[in-house]
Amino acid sequence: MAGRDSWGAAAHARMADKWQEAAANWNTALTETLLDLATLHPGSLVLDIAAGSGDPALSIAKRLDVGRVLAIDSSYPGLLLAKRQSEVMSLSARLEAAHADVHQLPLRHSCVDRIVCRFGIMYFADIDTAFGEMLRVLKPGGRVAFLAWGALEQPLFESTIAIVLRLVPGATLPEPARTAFRFAAAGSIEDALRRNRFRNIEERRMTVSRIWAGSPEGLWQYTQEISTPLQSLWEAIPATLRPEVDAAAAAALARFEVGNTLTVPVDVVLATAER
């Protein structure tokens, strides 16, 4: 259970000291947008599904002066990092972590007030079972808030993934990465929520800025280290082409650079619903 699986390795990469300053606000706008839509209330029990290394669970714990957040993930190493960070931030009393599968949540019926998931629902093996479990543990009137990727054709991916696909002969998008865009089509999350008996469903598209306080080269390296579904694509880059690919990706990302900061727009899908 405690082995460093691929998602766990990515969690460790996100928390690496070398990236702390540059990546400090990389996900901030995404997390804040998601939590605003979740409409957290004092005293709430919030379930963060696919919590990874603790973001947004730690942000939720900071918002809740009274209340708790339960972070669950099928990868154990990231949860250990989340729990350790909660202790550093003096938030351990408000954050619990559980190694669990969204398809079989270890919770009783009607016990949580809010459920959030940032960039996780795309990877659920059976979305209907997962949504059914969320509906089961959600209190009547409780709310879910999800964030998923928009289309592959957007600035961040055109500056990273598309560079590799263009320059490396025979390179193709790995199947796990294709899955990341399963809800890019308009109405797709809404349809899944509706057939699973959620109500007051709202799906919207937004462009949000991600802030990287470092160099384009650093962002390109960070992207490769944390993008678990794309590992086979990065590994397909031949050593002979590596300098060309690195230079092209850095040049593409440099378009977003002002001073020592990169502001990268990303297209996302946001959905909310109630039980």
Instruction: Enumerate helices (H) and strands (E) in the chain, giving the number of each.
Output: 12, 8
* Tokens, residue 28: 């901030």
Structure tokens at 61: 């714990």
DSSP characters for 122-170?
GG-S-HHHHHHHHHHHEEEEEEEEEEEE--S-SHHHHTTHHHHHHHSTT
Find all residues with CB under 8 Å of 33, minimum gap 6, and list them: 147, 206, 208, 270
The answer to whether the beta carbons of residues 155 and 266 sit under 8 Å apart is yes
Pick the CATH number of 6-274 from 2.60.40.420, 3.40.50.150, 3.30.70.3270, 3.40.220.10: 3.40.50.150
Please state the φ and ψ torsions of residue 226, each to the nearest 5 degrees. -100, -10
Instruction: Round to whole Å and give the CA distance between 81 and 87.
Output: 10
What are the pLDDT tens digits along the chain (275 aa)?
333 466 666 666 666 778 999 999 999 999 999 999 999 999 999 999 999 989 899 999 999 989 999 999 998 888 999 999 999 999 999 999 999 999 999 999 999 999 999 999 999 999 999 999 999 999 999 999 999 999 999 999 999 999 999 999 999 999 999 999 999 999 999 999 999 999 999 999 999 999 999 999 999 999 999 998 999 999 999 999 999 999 999 999 999 999 889 999 999 999 999 99
Helices 127-137, 188-195: crossing angle, 10 deg rounding: 60
Return the SS3 of 242: helix
